[in-house]
Amino acid sequence: MLPTLGQQPLDIDPNCTFNLQLVPSLSPMGGWTIVRTGLN
């Protein structure tokens, strides 16, 4: 099962110039942090 941001599933568009990756948040509240990679 894929992690979700709010109620929206995370979709990575292969045609996009960057990818979104979810990494575990280091905050005490937990959750996920979105990291953008491959910015051109």
Instruction: State how far the alpha carbon of 10 is from the alpha carbons of 4, 28, 32, 39, in Å.
Output: 6, 23, 12, 18
Q: What string of pLDDT tens digits covers the 40 residues of the chain?
A: 555 555 555 555 566 556 667 777 777 877 777 777 665 5
Phi-psi region of 15 (alpha: psi -120 to 50; beta: other; left: phi over 0): alpha
Q: Please give the pLDDT value at position 17.
A: 55
pTM over 0.85: no
Question: Where do the structural domains in the chain lie, given as residue ranges?
Answer: 15-39
